[in-house]
Homo-oligomer: A and B are copies of this chain.
Amino acid sequence: MTTVNRSISLASRPVGFPRVSDFNLSYSQMPSPHAGEVLVRSLYLSLDPSLRERMDDGEPSTQPLAIGEVLVGKAVASVLESRDPRFEPGDVVLAKVGWQEYGVAQGNDLTKLHPNSAPMSTALGVLGMPGLTAYFGVLDVCSVRPGETVVVSGAAGAVGMVAGQLARIEGCRVVGVAGADAETAWLLDELGFDAAVNYQAANGWEDRLRELCPAGVDAYFDTVGGMITDAVIRLVNSGARIAVCGQTSQYNLERPETGPRWLRQLVAKQATLRGFLISSFAERFPEGLERLHGWLKEGKLKYREEIVDGIEAAPQAFISMLHGRGQGKQLVRM
């Protein structure tokens, strides 16, 4: 067993999109667990767009990373050595060890993963935070009802792909907004979306969106914001619900963007917009995971993972994800 640990830390705060030079690969001694702690080896690392916010200093980031700090993220990991009686070597756990090959965590911060019919990597995607975000966003925040038209932005992303499928399962007409023709094709052909539009297409995508929502928009699940949200809000019906869990279009701007003011539209349409973080639903995670797992087993819920190998590949994979390349959940296999 190697005694070297490799980790990736924040070298400098990105201006606009991060570059590989904003990351630093460091070597260190493998850590040892103290009483109550567990040493784990990371198997899959989750790359999350929201991490980009924590690379900035200042609002609205509430917990900015320090320069030199290891980048944060969840991982599926195997226990190597345990000083917590609840865990033993070989256990597979969910751990917040960040971007490193080995990590020490408090036993209290680990979740043991029980073998089920889904691959363990799904604990970071469709059966993890992204899937739960989609579940509570669609069923709770948007409270979708059969027959409604639901628009999903970032529809080919880790959260959006699940959100759209859940709205379909609930009997809605689902329109996905994505950033490439390959993505819209995937949404239509494999995930069963009713319609999809590529907002990166030359001109007229807003008109196309309007055509695809002939009965207006009853609910909008938003992870992207910016001009996509501007376009969707022009289409909302009376009593529309808007769930916002991220704003990926805004994370990599060199300068904050301005946009049209649309609160008059929300008043005229008596629409409700709610920003939410998945942590607020923590007590109901078991319910969400059980239902997501059920749909997965029944074949009603599909997913895709983009996987790169080796921690050294993480920065470029993260940057590519922020540029909107790739479909589904972005992972690093360690």
Residues of A within 8 A of B (CB): 53, 59-62, 222, 225-226, 229, 234, 244-247, 250, 256-261, 263-277, 280
Shortest CB-to-CB span from A11 to chain B, Å, is 24
Complex: A234 Cα to B268 Cα, angstroms: 24
Q: Are B280 and A275 in contact (CB under 8 A)?
A: no
Q: Are A267 and B280 in contact (CB under 8 A)?
A: no
Q: Are B250 and A264 in contact (CB under 8 A)?
A: yes
A contact patch SS? mixed
- Most chain-B Cβ atoms within 10 A of its Cβ — which of A222, A229, A273? A273
- The residue that A247 contacts in the complex, of B222, B250, B267, with Cβ under 8 A, is B267
Complex: A268 Cα to B229 Cα, angstroms: 17
- The residue that A226 contacts in the complex, of B261, B275, B277, with Cβ under 8 A, is B261
- The residue that A271 contacts in the complex, of B245, B271, B275, with Cβ under 8 A, is B275
Extra contacts besides A225-B264, A267-B275 (13): CB < 8 Å: A59-B265, A60-B269, A222-B263, A225-B261, A244-B266, A247-B261, A250-B261, A258-B261, A259-B261, A265-B275, A268-B277, A272-B274, A273-B273
- The residue that A263 contacts in the complex, of B234, B247, B265, with Cβ under 8 A, is B247
Q: Can you name 18 A-B pairs with beta carbons within 8 Å?
A: A53-B264, A59-B265, A60-B268, A62-B268, A225-B264, A226-B261, A244-B263, A244-B266, A244-B267, A247-B261, A250-B263, A256-B260, A258-B261, A266-B273, A267-B276, A267-B277, A268-B277, A272-B272
Complex: A268 Cα to B275 Cα, angstroms: 7
Shortest CB-to-CB span from A112 to chain B, Å, is 29
| Given A59-B234, A259-B258, A272-B272, CB of A245 within 8 Å of CB of B267 | yes
User: Which residues of chain B come closer than 8 Å to A269, judged between CB atoms?
Assistant: 60, 275
Q: Are A270 and B275 in contact (CB under 8 A)?
A: yes
User: Which residues of chain B come closer than 8 Å to A270, judged between CB atoms?
Assistant: 274-277, 280
Shortest CB-to-CB span from A330 to chain B, Å, is 20
Complex: A272 Cα to B269 Cα, angstroms: 16
Q: Are B260 and A260 in contact (CB under 8 A)?
A: no
Closest to A61 in B: B268
User: Which residues of chain B come closer than 8 Å to A268, judged between CB atoms?
Assistant: 60-62, 275, 277
Question: What 9 A-B pairs have minimum CB-CB distances, sorted nearest first?
Answer: A266-B275, A267-B275, A60-B268, A258-B258, A272-B274, A60-B265, A273-B273, A60-B264, A247-B264
